Chain A
């Protein structure tokens, strides 16, 4: 396989607070290859957003501490000066955020905000930048783009604003597009439109996409490979097929069990994962998921490593043997199915 476009190596991010050190990201390694879509799944506070924000070096909190490397096209982003990282932000790697209602500056026209990014990275005239902006707005499906470019963000709906954000993000043909929960704040009907727009742009521009979400349904549709994060660590990683048809970690089973599926008999109720994620200030000894796991056993007091137990490229961090996993998996994901069997 070719060298990865973006290679995150053992990234650690911690925040100093009045009450102690919060380990938001605790040794994450991830690779992103050209043209692929990588899904990062996890619940709020699992560190998925912090990981990608750190890649962009967007965390300016003076209490944040960083460790590890992020290699992009052969250089370490973590070691770059502000000026160097700036030339990559928005041009090589760009980002879409969760809440389109607040992510655009309310006092500038949307066309201007796109032009601003283009003119920051390329030496083009204002009219040329404007034409590009209008072109982009048309490409993301904004009707009357030339007129609408002169409107302010508050004159757009949430879905339309997210389209503007996407137009802005792809304006400089980035290699990597990071989408941080791009549909969470939107209506369900709009969500599908935005996702198919990202898919289409990915094909048109050949951009690699990192899709951060808490919704297994979204990655099922979009991602080539998926990483599942829990309490600041990756606990399972593999191709979309592997994750959905041969999941290895009990936490992944829990996530899969909590989505409704149309291709199986309707369960009486969806299974939920019991308990709450642990405090990031005092992680339990050993497996962080241990306290909530139904299959906990003695070895779980040792911290499990992320290894390719299930085959090359399919990593998981669970001590259970392959056989044990096979035995208990279906019962955990779909208890009803198991019960209904004679």
Chain B
């Protein structure tokens, strides 16, 4: 039925679509999608806010360091100087409870965590780490997967068989467990890892970045390889072969431009996935390592304060939900914009 409508519509649209390149058309469709634009706006806002972390944090820095412990620090609430760590509640007054949210944009807006650090400042610096790891690992993953898919799909035969089976094996591992094994193996070695000239220290943000990029390679590889296979059998590629084009030219100037849209559709969704994975690994203490913080580590630290100072956990969780939701909505928008079937979308 829709085929009929589509046929009818395409007859109607024939004159409208002539002479515009697909990217311009896609961009036009994306611009019309208000939900996707709002998501893009929210995402940019979150990035800007996290980059602006020092603007907030210079007020709460102690000993020139926002991320170090501040057990004996003080802050100002309602014009009075109060200690960050307060005496514990209950009859026995045992232990210490960090200060709760002051809702004061200069000091301890969201209160302190269990070693007296400003949660709002952690949130902003943690956001930098989460976003950086999420974006970098998704990019790294997509680049590696695309290169492998191009090689496998283009050369086919044995090359394809070996690479695809390799991907199947990585795919067979439970993602979190694979990441955990890789991470623990690296973490037991506190001096970091030397691979050739590349040195990665165990506490570097690049450790989780590389691990997360690695475990998701098969998830990008599969759809991209499929696309490469279908493009490689198209007539224009045969025409290029007939012209005597080199393999290099075939891969990079004939096939690659036609699989880029697949990768672009996957990218926002991959960033959403990698940010969630980073937070999960950090929650399990095998992701971002001290002294660095990320949204995941804050939630993990907040677990002990859940019933007394819930905002320590709630705030970073909300940040993750907002970021990932925005990425997912944007990803849907990009997909609809690049997918010609979206033409008949209901308004």
Q: A residues touching B (Cβ–Cβ < 8 Å)?
A: 15-20, 22, 24, 44-45, 47, 49-50, 53, 58-64, 276-277, 279-281
Select one of B2, B4, B8, B12 contacting A19, CB under 8 A. B12
Q: Is the CB of A17 within 8 A of B11?
A: no
Select one of A49, A61, A280 contacting B11, CB under 8 A. A280
Q: Is the CB of B8 within 8 A of A24?
A: yes
CA distance A50 to B3 in the complex (A): 11
Known: A18-B343, A44-B7, A45-B7. Is A61-B12 also a contact (CB below 8 A)? Answer: no
Which residues in window 14-36 of B have CB below 8 A to A? 14-16, 32
Known: A18-B343, A18-B347. Is A60-B1 also a contact (CB below 8 A)? Answer: yes
Known: A44-B7, A61-B1. Is A281-B347 also a contact (CB below 8 A)? Answer: no
Interface size class of B (residues with CB under 8 A): 10 to 19
Residue of B nearest to A25 (CB): B8
CB distance from B343 to the nearest CB of A (A): 7
Residue of A nearest to B345 (CB): A18
Residues of A within 8 A of B345 (CB): 18
- Per DSSP, chain A at the interface is loop
A-B contact count (CB 8 A): 60
Residues of A within 8 A of B13 (CB): 17, 19, 279, 281
CB distance from B11 to the nearest CB of A (A): 4
Known: A17-B344, A18-B343, A18-B347. Is A45-B5 also a contact (CB below 8 A)? Answer: no
Contacts beyond the supplied A18-B32, A276-B14: 5 A-B pairs with Cβ under 8 Å: A22-B9, A24-B8, A63-B344, A279-B11, A281-B16
Q: Is the CB of B347 within 8 A of A22?
A: no
CA distance A45 to B3 in the complex (A): 11
CB distance from A49 to the nearest CB of B (A): 5
Known: A63-B346, A279-B14. Is A17-B1 also a contact (CB below 8 A)? Answer: no
Q: Is the CB of B16 within 8 A of A62?
A: no
Select one of A50, A59, A60, A281 contacting B12, CB under 8 A. A281
CA distance A226 to B212 in the complex (A): 67
Known: A62-B346, A279-B14, A279-B15. Is A15-B8 also a contact (CB below 8 A)? Answer: yes
Residue of B nearest to A98 (CB): B3
Select one of B1, B8, B32, B347 contacting A280, CB under 8 A. B8
Residues of A within 8 A of B343 (CB): 17-18
CB distance from B346 to the nearest CB of A (A): 6
Highest count of chain B CB atoms <10 Å: which of A15, A53, A276: A15
Known: A15-B5, A49-B4. Is A279-B12 also a contact (CB below 8 A)? Answer: yes
Known: A19-B12, A279-B14. Is A59-B7 also a contact (CB below 8 A)? Answer: no
15 A-B contacts, Cβ less than 8 Å apart?
A15-B9, A16-B347, A17-B9, A19-B12, A19-B16, A20-B12, A22-B8, A22-B11, A45-B8, A45-B11, A47-B8, A59-B1, A59-B5, A64-B5, A279-B14
CA distance A53 to B7 in the complex (A): 14
Residues of A within 8 A of B32 (CB): 18
CB distance from B342 to the nearest CB of A (A): 10
Residues of A within 8 A of B14 (CB): 276, 279
CB distance from A278 to the nearest CB of B (A): 9
Residues of A within 8 A of B7 (CB): 44-45
CA distance A216 to B65 in the complex (A): 85
CA distance A50 to B2 in the complex (A): 11
Known: A19-B16, A62-B346. Is A277-B11 also a contact (CB below 8 A)? Answer: yes
Residues of B within 8 A of A17 (CB): 9, 12-13, 343-344
